[in-house]
Every structure is written in structure tokens, then in C-alpha cells.
Amino acid sequence: MRKINIFDTTLRDGEQSAGVNLNFTEKMEVARQLERLGVDIIEAGFPASSKGDFKAVNEIAQAIKNSSVTGLSRSNMKDIDISWDALKVAEEPRLHLFIATSPIHMQHKLKMTPDQVLATAVDAVKYAASKFSIVQFSAEDACRTELPFLVRIVKEVIDAGATVINIPDTVGYITPKEYGDIFTYLKENVPNIGKAILSAHCHDDLGMAVINSLSAIEHGADQIEGTINGIGERAGNAALEEVAVALHIRNDFYQAKTGLNLKEIKKTSSLVSKLTGMVVPANKAVVGKNAFAHESGIHQDGVLKERSTYEIISPELVGVASNDMVLGKHSGRHAFRNRLEELGYNLTQEEVNKVFVAFKELADKKKEITDDDLVSLMYEEKLGDAVKFYELKSLQVQFGTHQVPTATISMTTPSGEEIQDASTGSGSVEAIYNTLERIIGSPVRLDDYRIQSNTSGRDALAEVFVKVYFNGMTSSGRGTAQDVLEASAKAYLNAINRILLQEQYREEMQKVAK
């Protein structure tokens, strides 16, 4: 059975999703989880695009040992040099080079002739191959590229040292049959194609990213690129969890498999959703809340008699527990840590102690604490320290049907001073945000506000996601609490703190440059 390499670009293409803004700590958390999932290649970022991306790629390359780490690079020597500086510490340094090859891109974006594009690509691959053990070449907008030219450039870059050839459907335009035909055409017309692995990278603009990826596998692709939950630019990328589970369930047809630990899929999906603020739709294949729900009486009857009647994927296959172990206020530290380890999280003793305190506080208010509650608490406490400039100390809101909502807030500022202030609004959340803006002392524009419950039940944790514009920058923020108003305040401050963290990092980089 053929082995299909999984190339995950959640941290590069996925982070280009509108409104997504991961800090370094969060990127590292995602990278470690992708390693646990068993992806073959992690595209950690675009090192030449910013100093922040360079740092993230470099440190992820140092930390990850069981997956190959790569970075994106344009076809020029400067980008390649910067990428080498970031990736040379990796266990298996590899580079992802690209240049556009379609007539529309060459004419309007690059303003280059096909011969100039070919020469640029060959020179870049030769130079990259002198540094990197593995060079992947992507023909951007390959699916709108004239096939004779695609054959020509693929042959030349393989001769120049490319060991992986990626055929991206950059704008999500192509159909499954057409996409498969491109791979067949290349295998039949590129004389040295056997020296390289063919890769597929599909976007979901027409809703065909996953089926196009599977079509590529049918026609000879040995690597699939995509993201967790299918996030990414515009309508997103191929959802890797869907590709992997499709190959597993229909191995009789595809005769191919991945090396993914499928039991880590749900955990990975939940982490990416939580950190990006991009909610997984309930009807999403493989990882949606309703993926294993049966409401129809006929379906329920069939599943009770024999699960395979209406359930082709077992929840356990992708790491969905059929019954949660419920912890409560009488649970001890040992049971608490043991449950986190069963969920696959290995925390330091200091981290366990910190999260355990938060767990006990929640247990005094909430009778039963589920696995989802534990995970939310863990990331709230574990990742929260990375972005603490302003910190909420207390919140009181007065509200009544015939009363003007008023919020009184006490919090510490970046200088360590504790300030208390109050303000009103047309609603409780607006009153809170008006008060926070008064304390911060600068205008803050709220561009997005979303709220959802973490689990079912009246005592469920609330998770709030916001996007704000502050000090000339846009940032997202998250907050979790049992009270929706407290979660709203935490999300707002988290977004502000992220911007202050970016400003601090920029100032540090400027000092280093001087």
C-alpha cells in the first residue's frame, strides 16, 4: 500500500485566514500537536516575510524532531538565504520554493516571459539545492498553466535539484478529473519525473479541495498539502483530516495510507479552532459536533442494532471519547493530572499546579467538569501568561430592563498600577468595553465579537472571540469563563495584550538592529 506524505501548512497558509493572528507561543503549541498527530512535513511559515515569522520558523525547526520542518520562499537568493538561516538547525532542512507559471500570473503579476520565469526557477532551485537536502518546487497557479510549459519547467527544476514537485490549484478552479489528468500528463511527458515526488495543494473556492486531493492520489501524487479544519486564505485549503480518514476508510479503493495517528485528529482540530477563533461547523466532516450524531429514529434504531448501518467512522477512530470521565470538586491532583495525560497532554509540574488551581476554582461553581472544560482551562492558563500586560482583577455590571447598563472594572496596567473605572453602554458588553477603553486611554475599535458555549448545559463555560483595531494594528483575542461578561472582558484584553506584545517584540528587534 502506498504511503502518502502529509504536508501541513496550517501555520503558513492557514494563518493567512482573515482575522487569524497566532503569537509565537501558540504557533509552537500547534507545531507540537502536529508532531503528535504525525504529519510528515510542517510548513512553519515564510521566514523572509517578517522577523516574527523568521523567529517562529527557526524555533519550531529547533524544537520539532519527528516531523520535517520547512518554510516558504520566493525564487530569489535573498529569500533562500534567510530561509537557510532559519531552517539550518532543523533535523532535515528543506525549502519550499515557488514561482507563478500561468499566463495570467506571468503577464500581470510577474511581468516576465515564460523563458525568464524558467531561468529564474532553475537558478533558484540550483542555489537552494546547494544548501538544503530537500527542495520542493511549486508552480504557482499550475492548474491554469499551459501543459507544455508546465512539463518544460518541471523537467528543468528536477534537473536543477528539486526533489518534490508541487502542483497547486492556487485559486480553487479545477475539477477532479482535470486535476488528475494533469498528474497523468506530467508522469507521461516529463522524462525525469521518477526522480521527484509529486505533491498536490488544493484550495476550496469551489468546494472541491478534498476531492481534488484524492483525485491527485489516484493519478500518482505521493504528497498532499493542506491544513487542519481546512482553514486558509479565502475559502481555505484541503482539510487534511478529511483526506486522511477517507484514505483509511476507503483503503480498498485508494490503496494508499498516511502515517497520521488518527486518534489525535479531534484534539488537533479543537486546538486549531480554539487558537485561531475559527469555529468548526457542526456538520463538518470527521470533526464536526454532529459528525457522529443520529437524530432520525430510523438511523438511531439501526445504529443501536449495528453501528455500521449508519456510522462508517467510529468516534474513537479520530479521538472522540464515547464517554467522558467527569471530574468534580472532590477530585484530587493525581486524578486531575492523570486525566490530562490520558487526553495526551504532558505538562510540567509547575503547569499542572497552575491549571489545578483554576480547576478547583471552577469546580466550586460547576458540578461536573468535562474533558472540553479541562482543555479550555489548560490553554487559558498555559498560554495566557504569554500575553499579560493588562490583567483583569474584578468586574461588576449593573443591568436592568429599565436601567442604563453600567460596568465597574478594576485591573492592573503594564506598569503594575491598579486602576478602577466605570462607564455605561447601551448593553452590558458595550458598558464593559467602554470602561476598558477608558482605562487603556486610547481608542479601540471592535471589528468582530462572537460567543459560544464550551459544552452543553446551563453551567457551561463561555468562550468569546473578538477582533479589535488598536494602535494601528488589528488583532484577535479569546476569553473563557463561566460568566459570559467576564469572558467578554478577557477576550477584549487578550486582543489588546497581543498588540502590545507585537509592539514590544518590534522594539526589541529595532534595538538589536542598531
Q: Going from the N-terminus, what domains does the chain have, and what CATH number goes with each?
A: 2-276 (3.20.20.70), 292-321 (no CATH), 333-382 (no CATH), 388-513 (3.30.160.270)
Q: Which residues contact 320 (CB under 8 A, 6 or more apart)?
A: 266, 292
pLDDT, average across residues 223-252? 97
Which set of grid coordinates corresponds to residue 269? 482540530
Distance CA 430, CA 191 (A): 65
Which set of grid coordinates corresponds to residue 464? 468569546
Pick from 5-14, 308-317, 377-386 the range whose average pLDDT is largest.
5-14
CA triplet 493, 496, 501: central angle to 5 degrees? Answer: 120
Name the helix (H) or strand (E) containing 209.
Answer: helix 209-218
The pLDDT value given to residue 362: 81
Whether residue 300 has pLDDT greater than 60: no
Is residue 410 within 8 Å of residue 418, measured between CB atoms?
yes
pLDDT, average across residues 405-413? 96
DSSP SS3 for 299: helix
Distance CA 470, CA 499 (A): 7
CA-nearest of 57, 55, 21, 22 to 42 is 57
Whether residue 180 has pLDDT greater than 90: yes
Q: What is the pLDDT of residues 259-271, one digit of tens each?
A: 999 999 999 999 9
The pLDDT value given to residue 382: 66
Q: How confident is the model at residue 384 (pLDDT cuts 50, 70, 90)?
A: low
Q: What is the pLDDT of residues 105-158, one digit of tens each?
A: 999 999 999 999 999 999 999 999 999 999 999 999 999 999 999 999 999 999
Q: How confident is the model at residue 305 (pLDDT cuts 50, 70, 90)?
A: low
The pLDDT value given to residue 243: 98
| Side chain identity, residue 374 | L
Helix extents (H) in 6-146: 24-37, 51-63, 77-87, 103-105, 114-129
pLDDT, average across residues 40-59? 95
The pLDDT value given to residue 297: 58
The count of other CB atoms within 10 Å of the CB of residue 1 is: 9
pLDDT, average across residues 477-482? 90
The count of other CB atoms within 10 Å of the CB of residue 296 is: 10
Higher pLDDT, 159 or 349: 159
pLDDT, average across residues 184-203? 98
Whether residue 495 has pLDDT greater than 70: yes
Q: What is the pLDDT of residues 425-471, one digit of tens each?
A: 999 999 999 999 999 999 999 999 999 887 777 888 899 999 999 99
Whether residue 309 has pLDDT greater than 80: no
The pLDDT value given to residue 110: 97
Q: What is the pLDDT of residues 349-374, one digit of tens each?
A: 888 888 888 888 888 877 777 777 78
* Residue linked to cell 514590544: 504
Which set of grid coordinates corresponds to residue 323? 464517554
Whether residue 294 has pLDDT greater than 60: no
- Per the prediction, the chain carries an average pLDDT of 91
The pLDDT value given to residue 387: 63
Q: How many residues does the chain have?
A: 514
Distance CA 384, CA 361 (A): 17
The count of other CB atoms within 10 Å of the CB of residue 375 is: 18
Whether residue 417 has pLDDT greater than 90: yes
Which set of grid coordinates corresponds to residue 114? 515564460
CA-nearest of 291, 200, 268 to 237 is 200
Pick from 204-213, 345-354, 383-392 the range whose average pLDDT is largest.
204-213
Quote the pTM value.
Answer: 0.86
The pLDDT value given to residue 508: 76
CA triplet 61, 63, 69: central angle to 5 degrees? Answer: 30
Is residue 83 within 8 Å of residue 95, measured between CB atoms?
yes
Is residue 9 within 8 Å of residue 44, measured between CB atoms?
no
The pLDDT value given to residue 372: 76
Which set of grid coordinates corresponds to residue 197? 515526488
